[in-house]
Chains A and B, each alone.
Chain A
Amino acid sequence: DSGVTQTPKHLITATGQRVTLRCSPRSGDLSVYWYQQSLDQGLQFLIQYYNGEERAKGNILERFSAQQFPDLHSELNLSSLELGDSALYFCASSVEGGPNYGYTFGSGTRLTVV
């Protein structure tokens, strides 16, 4: 157990639907990062939050949004889902706002859009 908790572990939904992925960071970590992993694209950075505020944004689609709550857990919202959104979605956390000391990843949410 890495200390980063992601729910749900698996999600199957239809095109056009909206889903919410949840992440609880490791105790004491202030930063939360969301990544998308697909077979052909590898690990792609989506967005980072640090202590409740958006810190950095990667190649996140406009249909996707995220937030970090006062208790530091984060949610990634995916809407108007398309078949191509099927992927593994990982949350990672770190104690500081930068990457130099590495990230702790959760076990991921496998999203299947049918």
Chain B
Amino acid sequence: TQLLEQSPQFLSIQEGENLTVYCNSSSVFSSLQWYRQEPGEGPVLLVTVVTGGEVKKLKRLTFQFGDARKDSSLHITAAQTGDTGLYLCAGAGYNNAGNMLTFGGGTRLMVKP
């Protein structure tokens, strides 16, 4: 069974601080995706990383895929209150159900003004 563990589960920081969220697994994934979910809404895809070692930047967000394609990190620089939300990583690959996305448990980020 593929499992994705995210850490930390909860993070409360002040506006302007930097933070890193981690997503780890013992399984290899063909791609790794990050989603952000706000209350009352569905997850929204932020980025997909495909190649081991790949780094993608989206404004103040930097995503990295591990060399072995088993882990990923999301770094936010100078966090803003608008970054508040639930961040989910999801790995694409074969599991018992087929070629699926497996979601991590999420990191709940609160950025205080």
Contact = CB atoms under 8 A, between A and B. Distances in A.
B31 A100 contact: yes
Interface in A52-100: 55-58, 90, 92, 97-100
A107 B101 contact: no
Given A106-B42, A107-B40, A56 B99 contact: yes
A21 interface: no
A48 B98 contact: yes
Contacts of B92: 98-100
Contact of B42 (A45, A56, A90, A99): A90
Contacts of A48: 97-98, 100
B31 A105 contact: no
Nearest to A59: B97
A55 B106 contact: no
Interface stretch (B43-51, B52-60, B73-81): B43-51
Contacts of A112: none
Interface residues of A, number: 25
A42 interface: yes
Contact of A42 (B33, B41, B45, B103): B103
Given A56-B97, A58-B97, A42 B42 contact: no
B101 A2 contact: no
Interface of B: 30-31, 33, 35, 40-45, 48, 50, 88, 90, 92, 97-106
Interface of A: 2, 4, 33, 42-43, 45, 48, 55-58, 90, 92, 97-108
29 contacts: A2-B42, A2-B44, A33-B101, A42-B103, A42-B104, A43-B43, A43-B103, A45-B100, A45-B102, A55-B98, A56-B99, A56-B100, A90-B42, A92-B42, A97-B99, A98-B92, A99-B33, A99-B99, A99-B100, A99-B101, A100-B48, A100-B92, A102-B33, A102-B45, A103-B101, A105-B42, A107-B40, A107-B41, A108-B42
